[in-house]
């Protein structure tokens, strides 16, 4: 299998919500990409950077066109980078960790607070396969606000206009225009538009 075919197969597996064997060639390639991304993050985080320079680094990390409306406060950490997909006017506060192998999709005008973790991977429960990975995407709608130190787990969708309270651990879908809080996060309020 050529490197190009292997790369296509890796992304097919990552985006399928399936399982990736730790003994596979795709897993080895994923680790190679991860090493390059972590190196880019380390370089980006090493010193103060202008917003323009951070956007340039993000384009290298994600392999997507430079997003001129993106705002990020450093440090920022990703252990893959190539499966982060950002809308317009996204703000990511400092010390966030994106484990994006399964795909992280963030809608327009979304705010992500300090030290949030977005984790799309789980390890296999069987000890003999514990190194194998299960991937599930995280989908965050438009105009969402995620409070500091929140954790969003793989397979979760957060609806447009929702708020995730600081410190929440979100393991289930969040309806649009709602507020969730706690561990595990539960619905505490519905947001009503003011006229």
Residue 31 predicted with pLDDT over 90: yes
For residue 192, name the pLDDT band (cuts at 50, 70, 90): confident
Q: Measure the CA–CA gap between 52 and 82, rounded to whole angstroms.
A: 20
Pairwise CA distance, residues 187 & 130, whole Å: 33
CA distance 180 to 56: 34
Counting every residue written for the chain, the total comes to: 195
Q: How confident is the model at residue 59 (pLDDT cuts 50, 70, 90)?
A: very high
Question: Percentage of the chain with pLDDT > 70?
Answer: 99
Q: What pTM was computed for the model?
A: 0.95
The pLDDT value given to residue 18:
84
- What CA–CA distances, in Å, run from 149 to 159, 183, 184? 19, 12, 13
Mean pLDDT of 126-131: 93
pLDDT at residue 87 tops 80 = yes
Cα(174)–Cα(127) distance, integer angstroms: 32
pLDDT digits (tens, 9 = 90+) for 134-159: 999 999 999 999 999 999 999 999 99
Among the listed ranges 6-20, 27-41, 52-66, 163-177, which one has the minimum average pLDDT value?
Answer: 6-20
Q: What percent of the chain has pLDDT over 90?
A: 93
Question: How high is the pLDDT of residue 17?
Answer: 86
Mean pLDDT, the chain, whole residue set: 96
- pLDDT tier at 194, thresholds 50, 70, 90: low
Supply 92's token pair.
């990511």
Domains and CATH numbers, the chain: 3-190 (2.160.10.10)
Instruction: Find out whether 176 and 159 touch, Cβ atoms under 8 Å.
Output: yes
Catalogue the active-site residues: 123
Predicted pLDDT at 195: 63
């Amino acid at each position: 299998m050529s490197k190009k075919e292997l790369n296509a197969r890796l992304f097919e597996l990552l985006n399928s919500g399936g399982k990736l064997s730790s003994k596979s060639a795709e897993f080895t390639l994923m680790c190679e990409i991860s090493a390059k991304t972590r190196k880019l993050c380390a370089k980006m985080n090493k010193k103060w950077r202008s917003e323009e320079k951070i956007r340039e680094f993000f384009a290298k990390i994600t392999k997507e066109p430079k997003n001129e409306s993106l705002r990020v406060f450093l440090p920022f950490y990703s252990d893959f980078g190539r499966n982060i997909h950002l809308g317009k006017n996204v703000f990511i506060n400092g010390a966030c960790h994106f484990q994006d192998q399964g795909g992280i999709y963030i809608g327009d005008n979304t705010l992500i607070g300090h030290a949030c973790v977005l984790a799309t991977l789980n390890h296999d429960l069987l000890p003999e396969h514990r190194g194998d990975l299960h991937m599930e995407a995280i989908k965050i709608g438009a105009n969402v606000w995620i409070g500091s130190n929140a954790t969003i787990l793989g397979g979760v969708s957060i609806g447009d206009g929702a708020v995730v309270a600081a410190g929440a651990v979100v393991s289930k879908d969040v309806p649009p225009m709602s507020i969730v809080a706690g561990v595990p996060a539960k619905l505490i309020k519905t947001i009503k538009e003011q006229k």
